[in-house]
Amino acid sequence: MKLRTSLFWMLAMLLIGGSVQAVQLFSLLGDKDGYGVGCPTSAHYLNYGSYGDDNRTASDPYFTDNWYVGTKSWSQDLDLTNFSPTNVGVWIKIAGIADNRGWDADIRVNGTVVGKIQTLVLYAPDGGVTHDWSRYFAFNVPLGLLNPVTNTISVNSNPADDYIIDYCELKADKIVPEPTTMILLGVGLLGVAAIRRRF
């Protein structure tokens, strides 16, 4: 009986302390080139472009590196077929959006708000208004909100406000046990089965 109890606790510790690894799927639209002019995050975008600029290259999606007014939507694929994520997020780098007109811009996935861009509550390095600065935003996406492959991402902004997007990225993570952990677990279970047959 003591031997069985010892084996039980050994297996329990193996499961608790076993190694795991994260597997990630991602979908990137845009080329992370700083709006086509090399503007880094947390930088004053007016030094890297101006209203109305179209900095796109032939490889850029239509909604990146180009100034827009109001709501902008696009389709983005993230193939979750045979992949059960434990966490999904949307990352976006954007500049120019302001909420000083009483309008909080938001990010939507398949029509549902997943986060708000409240620029005026963020710091402004120069003491001025923060919408003059390039910002990087990340929001969690509820797992049940995603479609198996194609999703609609939207920036819902003030109809009179213009802004520019550098890129948008969807990421899905799944935690899986390391192969060695599974082997050790299998060996332990075989040992338990052998002990049960002996007693």
Please give the pLDDT value at position 196. 57
What fold does the segment set 22-175 form as a domain?
Jelly Rolls (2.60.120)
User: What average pLDDT does range 146-172 have in this prediction?
Assistant: 90
- What are the domain boundaries of the chain? 1-19+178-199, 22-175
Give the tens place of pLDDT for each residue, 4-26.
Answer: 555 555 555 555 555 667 788 99
Give the tens place of pLDDT for each residue, 90-130.
Answer: 999 988 776 555 567 899 999 999 998 865 545 555 555 55
Q: Cα separation of 143 and 114, whole Å?
A: 11
pTM over 0.85: no
Say which residues have a Cβ less than 8 Å from residue 133's Cβ, sequence separation at least 6. 42, 43, 44, 45, 95, 124, 125
Give the CB-side neighbour count of residue 119, counting CA atoms within 13 A: 29
Q: Is the pLDDT of residue 29 over 60?
A: yes
